[in-house]
Amino acid sequence: MGTAIQWRGVSSGQWEKVARHNREFVGAKCRKHGDIAVPLFRDYVRRASISGAVAANIRLRELSEELELGQTGLTATVHDEELKKWCDRHADEVEKACEQWTQRAGVREAIRYAIKRVEECGLVFPIDDTAKPVNNDTKNEWRQALARVFDPQWWRRQVRRIQARKIEKVAREIRLVSVSAGIYSSDATVTRRKAQRNRNREALAGLEATSDDGQTINMLDVVKTSTANPENRRNELMVRMRGFEECATAAGDSGLFVTLTAPSRFHAMAVNRVSGKAYANTKFDGSTPREAQAYFCRLWSRIRAQLWREGIRPYGFRIAEPHHDGTPHWHMMIHCPPGQMERLKQVLTLHGLADSPDEPGAQKQRVKLVEIDPSKGTAAGYIAKYVSKNIDGEGIDADLYGRDAKNSARRIDAWASAWGIRQFQQIGGASVTVWRELRRLKGEEIIASEPDPQTALEVYDAWEAADSADWAAYTICQGGVSVRRDEQLIRAQYEVSGLTKYYEEAQKITGVVARGFGDLCTRALVWVIQKAGTAERQEEARRAQMKGRNQRGSSLTELMEMSQGMSIDELQALEDELPWSFEFSGAQAAPWTCVSNCTAPAGQGFKSLIEAVNDESNEQSGEGIGGKGTGIRSRADAKEGKTDDRIVSGVSG
């Protein structure tokens, strides 16, 4: 066992604790899981000392299988570069195989094969009901699903998602997530999240956005000025929370701070109150943080439904944050009229304790309600530390467990990313999307539109409130804290800008629209994202061309006089003899950007399968997937500039 003893992180003394006949099995199962190989081994040794070698072997096999990505041959700890290569290769293989199945056995068998390959990898096929027939009613769904299955980027997104969750699930199982180990999320997940953010930063730094009026901005600078920047995100959240408090003060409403905790079965670890160390919770049933979050969403749905039936409309914010072992709990700062406060607390308690109400500590820990006393501080001030702790840790020295707040914020970010948990959500109030769009406008643009004077004044007031970061005034202008989205004075306006590469309508926001007012465009410029430096190179080329034209002076005049009455072919021949070039009026101009925003080309297999689905659909309803005017082309044809003849006839018909 020389090689085993040399395994980094595992000493010869530790290997001596493993029975000789189990060492090869244990080494093989642990080694292939990269970052968590050593923790897996240590968990095996601990389990063997408690339950015996047989139970430890069974557990190690189960954990190892949990970390495998279906039948891909990959594990959850695979390096990202290797994962990208696998996704590229796999998408191409599935597409080509589907083409062969289509030719050999028909479209239905090809689709069955595609479904099988997706499910073998532990993924969910991108259509709700895979038993749906292929006909005119379902053609778009199948077209969109197949476009995803043949796209390497779709595979990357899906595999990375389950990869992160598998790692974190096993990490919780082997006690890597707790106050005594990696708080909130495992070290492996934090490291992967850091690498992901670095990749994103490098990618953004290598891109620029160029508008049709010549503005060019690096994409990294764009992100820094948006709410993707933690500082901007925190500031905006605090403005909105403070605004709700001002609304409550103006209306004479009371504030309530709520903490909801999940039942014991969701918690992997508990904390000894004396020593402060974590220990395994014997009631833990293996539930993931995502399942715990789903529990809270269902709970709040029931609470909200009953409150609305009784005419109670609370408003404010909720925050989802993790316990030390990664199990989420909710904090809410909500407001309502004083006369409704007692009933609000009764409903919260009733539903919050409906699940496992008799377990130890449930009555004390599961639902905590604290009414806000204005004499002791503001509601916004009360919740500010929770906002900061879950974003960037700014203004806080340490978290609840005495850890550095900024480091804890990074670990919480990794936790939310891995489990796909929405940390902040507004309850009631007006649309923040409209708020952000109004802040892009100028007051003169509203006045210049010459609408109805009364409506113009209302819209201007809403704009002025948004522009001055007054969430309370903006909310009142929009209709109040309980206004429905379809009853707001101003709503966001969207338009369809074409189809995505998955053949779905691509909607983009263009501005806002107000009742009796009309449209206000907030996004007049058209931006193109391209490689950084492209705009500069284009400008240098333009200057060089202009310099050449200025140098030739009268030669250009002579050429124009000489070219009168010449044909295009003669002019082209003349151009070939000149050291500089010129453009013909009416000829097709070169693209102004060197990159294409079109979808990536696919192989011939996608075209064949789409055509087969068309035929199958035609048999069912007389119209295939590529019916009239749908504009379906295979990505291979798109690259060559070809269009299916049936589509041409469909459009012309």
> Choosing from 382, 401, 474, 503, which is the catalytic residue?
382
Q: How many CB atoms lie within 10 A of CB 68?
A: 16
Q: Which two tokens stand for residue 404?
A: 């550095």
- Angstrom distance (rounded) from CA 485 to CA 490: 9
Q: To the nearest 10°, the Cα dihedral for 587, 593, 594, 598?
A: -90
- Angstrom distance (rounded) from CA 292 to CA 177: 16
Q: Which residue type occupies 366?
A: R
**Cβ-based burial of 225 (10 A; exposed 0-12, middle 13-18, buried ≥19):** exposed
- Angstrom distance (rounded) from CA 366 to CA 295: 13
The residue written with tokens 């909801």 in the block is 260
Are the CB atoms for 111 and 142 separated by under 8 Å? yes
Q: Answer yes or no: 382 catalytic.
A: yes
Q: Which two tokens stand for residue 479?
A: 């209709």
Helix (H) or strand (E) holding 194: helix 187-205
> Choosing from 386, 460, 474, 503, which is the catalytic residue?
386
Are the CB atoms for 1 and 15 separated by under 8 Å? yes
What's the DSSP call for residue 583? -
Strand order in the sheet with 424-427: 367-371, 254-260, 328-336, 315-322, 424-427
- Angstrom distance (rounded) from CA 402 to CA 389: 12
Of the candidates 134, 140, 147, the one whose C-alpha atom is nearest the C-alpha of residue 106 is 134
Q: Phi then psi for 318, rounded to 5 degrees?
A: -125, 150
Of the candidates 631, 623, 624, 636, the one whose C-alpha atom is nearest the C-alpha of residue 652 is 631
Q: Answer yes or no: 386 catalytic.
A: yes
- Angstrom distance (rounded) from CA 513 to CA 532: 35
CA angle 498, 500, 501 (to 5 degrees): 135
Which residue numbers are catalytic? Answer: 382, 386
